[in-house]
Structure 1
């Protein structure tokens, strides 16, 4: 995810080295954003077309769909390339796509709704809800949501990676995922550093289930998806993939060769990365999650307080990031990537969905698209995540 992802990423991964004690990141976008956002004229659309196609060619992306808009400025929606390399089916804005770690924005929204209902507190220790968590009496729900728990990322475990790539159609339970994490030592004390970690979201999913007495997928459907007005967003409990959908292509395989991962079981991502959506729903969700439509203003303000990630201009809050003023999340799952972001000053929405997660020179393709597009429309707010020198490993993105 724009954010450097290592193989087997469940969504967004800021895979930079931790930057030390967390402190509030002052990322105040320029008040001129509304003025600088251009009218999406045919001439601007032509520039965007060229930029997107250049990234596609450079990064070897089979197909991509882009949705960009701002009030009074127009709307740009385009699909390029193919959704299915075998048949040559064209990419289309109406296709369902796996969205990887954008799932995290839904899970954390569900948790924060429970906060607003007075059923949980952000400062509650995870041990209050889930037994057996290393350092569980010190790790708060807020530490988990802001990626500052110190727990080991289960998707970086070698045994997990072997299990997934040897049989990507198999189901995983939340407890199995936690077991891969908990055999490793604590990485750092809660709140001391930032480290992107899918384990955190598995635990938050379990909290939502325990407190609500409802399976996570059902709670999110009733309390997040439906109130947000999303019609083509689902939280699958198996490998089911609504039609029509794009085929996905990955090299995160046992052979290391490019394969079609369309029907791989996403249960290994669960609360961290299993969800499916489409362009139009993500365009709606970008604004909902960034503006706090489903939360109280106080809770939304807490959500948006970001902490350093070790990457210049990028902060991470409660299941959401701020990159150069753009608020949202990205996602990566074998075969698919996505980017859903919102620039408050211009009320601008940008969504990118594509059908590969193969990195290009260490960069996630979704980040390359985001950078190329924002260089044109918001040059003072370019979505740019520097590439770290970290060697790719089977870690969650």
Structure 2
């Protein structure tokens, strides 16, 4: 039976301690766990595993990438109606003890948070309380060029606002004290020191500044804290009981240790209990395999939104990277719709392929790049090359401190 998260207000005191997974001796550390009972979700859920030969190919591909890229642990879930399901946990959750990875872990989901923040905003659009073409200056004062930057520009990553995570002072302040708590206004100040990089709507630039502002819009209009609004209007209707926006470094159990080299020295550090407050509406959320599997279909098909609003969300625009386009807090890569996430120590991919009604979820406990590539993207590419060769997930290589590296 899956554990249920305690009431959100109890998390701050109940879950501050860093936890490790219960030791197991039945399987050697690093060996893959074959899960005979895939998660139970809804309608088109495959109730049987993939063909053994296909599953074996996936096992080998995942293990090859895991070892080449130095990924400590991987949780992979693939569900393909008509073909079956595939759920694996391989590698270790704790490099110090060798405790193995487990499918039932919680992880920090980085920029996948944007899909939740965008959904919260679009719920307000459906309520008639905000308009996508409203200027941000109507809701948040002192935004550079705020009278011309719309909520749509922010959600599309086309505002031209400088990414606060590119600011050298921010990088130093965060990495000097990873336990530090940042407020939204504090992180925005790092970005607002800089001139805007282009006119609103002129081009695509991935910037967490955009989604911190959208989080403030949700709070301003709803009269509730962002975490509470997402809980009530997004998580509950979507039946996601294992997903939350934490107040600090709280982390539900069990969770793997996370490893990053985004440090002042470049040395690898255990970032498990780093405070993600700096990422807030852009990347601070936590979830698990079960919830992410369900969310992939919900966000891609617009279950929680009106058809008109979902159509707006899925208006994908060029990013400058062939094969990848971006809508309102959601992207398309090789036909797969969803988002990835990266935050020091953890990376995730949650995507849905409408043409095959297939879902792919990946969770790993490192964000250390391999030959300039995000390890989660390498895994997603290897898997989709096998199961959907006509729809290969192919996210571009990230720029350090941009896109979805240290920023979520």
TM-score (normalizing by structure 1): 0.89
Distance in 1 between residues matched to 2:400 and 2:59, nearest whole Å: 32
Corresponding residue of 2:252: 242
Partner of 2:356: 346
| 1:315–1:321 CA contact under 8 A, matched in 2 | yes
**Corresponding position of 1:53:** 63
- Pairs within 5 Å for 1:137-176: 137-176=147-186
Aligned-pair CA distance for 1:86: 1.5
SS in 2 for 1:384: coil
Structure 1: which 5+ runs fail to align? 1-33
Deviation track 1:87-144 (CA, whole Å, cap 9, x = no partner) reads 2111111000000000000000000000000000000000000000000000000000
Q: Aligned residue for 2:102?
A: 92
Question: For this pair of structures, how many residues does the alignment match?
Answer: 360
Checking the alignment, whether the CA contact within 8 Å between 2:111 and 2:283 is kept in structure 1 is yes
Equivalents in 1 of 2:76, 2:139: separation in Å?
Answer: 40
Deviation by residue 1:239-291 (Cα, 9 ceiling, x = unmatched):
10011111100001122101100000000000000000001110000000000
Deviations 1:331-382 (A, max 9, x none): 0000000000000010000000000000001100010001000000000000
Is the counterpart of residue 318 in structure 1 residue 340 in structure 2?
Answer: no
Q: CA deviation at 1:72?
A: 2.3
Distance across 2 between alignment mates of 1:145 and 1:219? 18
CA distance in 2, matches of 1:387, 1:353: 18
Give the aligned partner of residue 290 of structure 2.
280
Change in CA separation of 1:340 and 1:391 when aligned onto 2, cut-off 3 Å? closer
> What corresponds to 1:22 in structure 2?
none
1:120-131 equivalence runs, <5 A: 120-131=130-141
Q: Deviations over 1:136-189 (max 9, x none)?
A: 000000000000000000011000000000000010000001100100001000
Where does residue 31 of structure 2 map in the other structure?
A: none
Which residue number corresponds to residue 8 of structure 1? Answer: none
Counterpart of 1:75 in 2: which secondary structure? strand
Compared CA separation, residues 89 and 257, structure 1 to 2 (3 A) = same
Cα distance in structure 2, aligned partners of 1:165 and 1:172: 13
Please list every run of 5 or more consecutive structure 2 residues that lacks an aligned counterpart in the other structure: 1-43
CA distance in 1, matches of 2:150, 2:95: 45
Whether contact under 8 Å (2:400, 2:406) holds in the other structure is no
2:397 corresponds to 1:396:
no
* Deviation of the 1:396 alpha carbon: 2.8
- The Cα of 1:385 is off from its aligned counterpart by 2.4
Q: State the partner residue of 1:215.
A: 225
Alpha-carbon contact 2:283-2:407 (below 8 Å) kept: no
**How far did residue 395 of structure 1 move?**
6.2
Q: Is contact 2:75–2:87 with CA below 8 Å preserved after alignment?
A: yes
Q: Please name the residue that 1:119 is paired with.
A: 129
Q: 1: distance between equivalents of 2:396 and 2:230? A: 33
Alpha-carbon deviations, 1:25-64, whole Å to 9, x = none? xxxxxxxxx9xxxx82111000000000000011000000
Say whether 1:80 aligns with 2:90: yes
1:262–1:395 CA distance, 2 compared to 1 (3 A): closer
Identify which of structures 1 and 2 has the higher relative contact order when contacts are C-alpha pairs closer than 8 Å and 6+ apart: 1
Alpha-carbon deviation of 1:205? Answer: 0.1
Q: What corresponds to 1:28 in structure 2?
A: none
| Counterpart Cα distance in 2 of 1:156 and 1:301 | 32
State whether structure 2 residue 220 is matched by structure 1 residue 206.
no
Question: Hey, what's the Cα distance between the residues in 2 that align with 1:311 and 1:369?
Answer: 19
Confirm or deny: 8 A CA contact 1:156 1:395 kept in the other structure. no
Extract structure 1 runs of 4+ deviating beyond 2 A: 385-388, 390-397
Residue of 258, 272, 290 corresponding to 1:262: 272
